[in-house]
């Protein structure tokens, strides 16, 4: 895959450049890892809150009920569920996308729409809460609203593009 | 976030009880701690590794040179940044453009930490803009989606690519526009 080659090129280039500049690469790497570990450990508390939330939403059955309301819209109800979960969790959206590919077909309207929903928007709520938590910012509700707004525009774009392509 | 979190959790609990799905919910709840640790390892492992690489890159002055290349854009978007913050912003945006994902995460966090100079609880307009840009221009080249579609033998695949690029370009512009709004409110 292209991205793996890019990553390897990035790693080799960074280490080689550091070597040419005659800095202590190993010590620098160790120092960075130490800092990164602290960041990740600090992330844990926010992460747990998020996994709990997504888990509750998924298991209480509201998504399936909402989805069945949208059965007659001309696409798989799972697409609607995917759009609702997308701002919170990239992994859930990904899993739903695979399910849609399996049940409705990759090249169907639902399949293309699902690909666009996953690819165009991002897990905005998760990213903003995550990064702000890591940087120690507490009042980010306005930024959060902005992120959700971007998601909604992304869904509209996904729908228009899917109409154009199928 | 506090209100959203509490509201959503209570709402889901009530809904699940009314629908009689309490057993499934309890089973899922017990799995939460395990799931979190495994998910954190999956996300955090690469983040730690790239944080190490990032330190090499910044010690060797590589990031500084990269930031100089992109300074014309960065200076326009983020005029009041300190020099080290500007370097990490540049790296984070480039990693985002290339779709490197985990490789960009440590630099985003570092940039945000450097941007937060005083002990403020609110993100500055520039931090908000940076965060929203991170959300918007996530995928110029959506590798995961395209490669998964290939596994499912999709006939329409590369045709999607221009639409993805168009969308992320459009969303980046929207992100810049909405990040202007809180700024104006601060002035007036």
pLDDT confidence band for A127 (50 / 70 / 90):
confident
Give the separation between CA B103 and CA B91, rounded to whole angstroms.
10
Evaluate if residue B6 carries a pLDDT over 80: yes
Question: How high is the pLDDT of residue B38?
Answer: 81
pLDDT confidence band for B188 (50 / 70 / 90):
very low
- Phi and psi torsions of B59, nearest 5°: -70, -35
Q: For residue range A29-83, list pLDDT tens digits in order.
A: 888 888 888 877 877 877 788 788 888 777 777 777 776 776 666 677 778 888 8
Give which of A158, A152, A40 is closest to B50, Cα–Cα: A40
* Cβ–Cβ contact B104 with A under 8 A: no
Give the separation between CA A157 and CA B176, rounded to whole angstroms.
18
| C-alpha distances out from residue B51 to A69, A141, B54, B68, B92, Å | 46, 28, 5, 21, 12
A159: closest CA of chain B, how far (Å): 12
Helix H or strand E segment including B73: helix B71-77
* Cβ–Cβ contact B179 with A under 8 A: yes
Domain ranges of chain A: 61-165
| C-alpha distances out from residue B185 to B125, B179, B180, Å | 11, 11, 9
B79: closest CA of chain A, how far (Å): 19
ipTM over 0.90: no
Write down the residue that tokens 């209570």 correspond to.
B10
Q: Do A57 and B182 touch (CB under 8 A)?
A: no
Q: For residue range B92-115, list pLDDT tens digits in order.
A: 777 776 656 666 777 788 788 877
Give the separation between CA A11 and CA B162, rounded to whole angstroms.
29
Give which of B9, B10, B15 is closest to A61, Cα–Cα: B15
Q: For residue range B102-161, list pLDDT tens digits in order.
A: 667 777 887 888 777 655 667 777 777 777 877 776 555 566 677 778 778 877 777 777
Phi-psi region of A61 (alpha: psi -120 to 50; beta: other; left: phi over 0): left
Which three-class secondary structure string do you get for A16-66? HHHHHCCCCHHHHHHHHHHHHHHHHHHHHHHHHHHHHHHHHHHHCCHHHHH
* Residue in B54, B61, B144 closest to A32 by CB: B54
Task: Report the greatest alpha carbon distance in chain A.
Answer: 65
Q: Do B109 and A131 touch (CB under 8 A)?
A: yes
Residues with Cβ within 8 Å of B74's Cβ and at least 6 positions away in sequence, in order, are B67, B81, B86, B89, B90, B93
Q: Do A52 and B32 touch (CB under 8 A)?
A: yes
């Amino acid at each position: 895959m292209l991205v793996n080659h890019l990553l390897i090129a990035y790693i080799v280039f960074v280490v080689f450049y550091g070597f040419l500049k005659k800095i202590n690469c190993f010590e620098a790497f160790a120092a960075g890892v130490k800092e990164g570990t602290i960041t990740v450990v600090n992330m844990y508390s926010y992460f747990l809150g998020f996994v709990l939330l997504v888990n509750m939403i998924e298991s209480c059955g509201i998504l399936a009920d909402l989805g069945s309301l949208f059965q007659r819209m001309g696409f798989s109800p799972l697409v609607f569920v995917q759009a609702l979960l997308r701002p919170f969790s990239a992994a859930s959206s990904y899993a739903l996308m695979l399910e849609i590919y399996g049940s409705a077909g990759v090249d169907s309207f639902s399949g293309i729409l699902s690909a666009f929903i996953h690819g165009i928007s991002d897990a905005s709520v998760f990213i903003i809460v995550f990064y702000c938590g890591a940087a120690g910012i507490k009042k980010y509700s306005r930024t959060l609203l902005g992120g959700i707004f971007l998601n909604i525009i992304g869904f509209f774009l996904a729908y228009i593009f899917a109409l154009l392509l199928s | 976030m506090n209100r959203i979190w509490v509201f959503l959790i209570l709402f889901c609990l009530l809904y699940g009880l009314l629908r009689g799905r309490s057993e499934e919910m309890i089973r899922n709840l017990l799995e939460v701690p395990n799931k979190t640790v495994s998910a954190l390892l999956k996300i955090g492992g690469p983040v730690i590794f790239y944080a190490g690489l990032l330190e090499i890159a910044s010690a060797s002055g590589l990031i500084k040179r990269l930031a100089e290349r992109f300074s014309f854009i960065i200076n326009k978007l983020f005029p009041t940044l300190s020099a080290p913050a500007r370097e990490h912003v540049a790296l984070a945006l480039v990693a985002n453009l290339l779709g490197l994902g985990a490789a960009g995460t440590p630099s985003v966090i570092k940039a945000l930490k450097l941007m937060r100079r005083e002990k403020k609880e609110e993100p500055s307009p520039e931090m908000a803009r940076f965060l929203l840009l991170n959300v918007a221009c996530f995928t110029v080249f959506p590798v995961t989606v395209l490669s998964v579609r290939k596994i499912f033998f999709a006939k329409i695949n590369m045709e999607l690519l221009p639409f993805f690029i168009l969308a992320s370009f459009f969303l980046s512009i929207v992100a810049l526009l909405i990040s202007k709004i809180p700024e104006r409110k601060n002035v007036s």
